[in-house]
Amino acid sequence: MNQSALQMMQADLAQLAQHLTANNIEVWIEENTAQHAQLLQYPTLLLSEVGNVVDLAIVMGGDGTMLSVARSLIDADVPLVGVNRGRFGFLTDLRAEEMLKQMDCILAGEYTLEPRMLLEAQVIRQGHKMHCHYALNDIVIKSGLRLIELEVEIDQNFVYKQRSDGLIISTPTGTTAYALSAGGPILHPNLEAISLVPICPHTLSNRPIAVNSHSQIEVTLMQFDEAQLGFDGQFQVALEVGDKISVNRAQKTISLLHPADYCYFDMLRNKLNWG
């Protein structure tokens, strides 16, 4: 973030905190954010402590910030609302210019609550569980050098063996992210589905598919020079030949708050510049 954008965000944070405090709302600020924004007059807490203290988490930034905070609060029953200071803002609805008015409406009970599903992925190596992490957008198996060969099973049924640059396993939320740029379908967030989108498949007949969200997806790494498993593009695990990646819908969800007049299709039209 450049200096000008940082200063604008600092000003927005200060304005929002002052406005909420003036309306008798108790405001806590995440510790690192308070330091960077120089808002040391407010009580602070670690991100891991947020779920134990607050009733609503306001996230200011872009979609990447929202993804990171959402994963950190997966064990907390705290809804999130986003103020967009990024580029696209598929997950951060509130415009900074209107955030005070919209926050007043939300705090007055004028909002839409939307649960978003998460994915859970485990790396099984020689029969042992090595890693387990969650994603709100997507689980991505990706090559580092050349094509990788992987085998996909869904509910213990063989689907295909594929040579490609990788595979994106996406929630409906994530279908407007990496999966979209790879040619995947856009799934409405209320669909109970998971999409599998090949990344540059060697065989053109390998197309994206969508399956029921309760499906058990297992991907076996058959051959590669280098590969990684990514979670929302923010956390990565190195893979080895023979690793099995088991992906399923997580039992937990993340709740997003939208303004009362929020419309998913309006958002798509505006963000993707549809006519």
Angle 36-40-46 (CA atoms, 0-180°, nearest 5)? 70
How far apart (Å, rounded) are the C-alpha atoms in residues 188 and 114?
12
Q: What is the H or E stretch that residue 30 is in?
A: strand 29-30
Q: Evaluate whether 30 touches 57 at the Cβ level (below 8 Å).
A: no
Those residues whose C-beta lies under 8 Å from the C-beta of residue 251, and which sit 6 or more positions away, are none
The conformation of residue 174, written as its DSSP 8-state character, comes to G
Catalytic residue among 63, 93, 165, 232: 63
63 labelled catalytic: yes
* Beta-carbon-side half-sphere exposure of residue 110 (alpha carbons within 13 Å): 10
Q: What residues form DSSP beta bridges with 255?
A: 115
Positions annotated as catalytic residues are 63
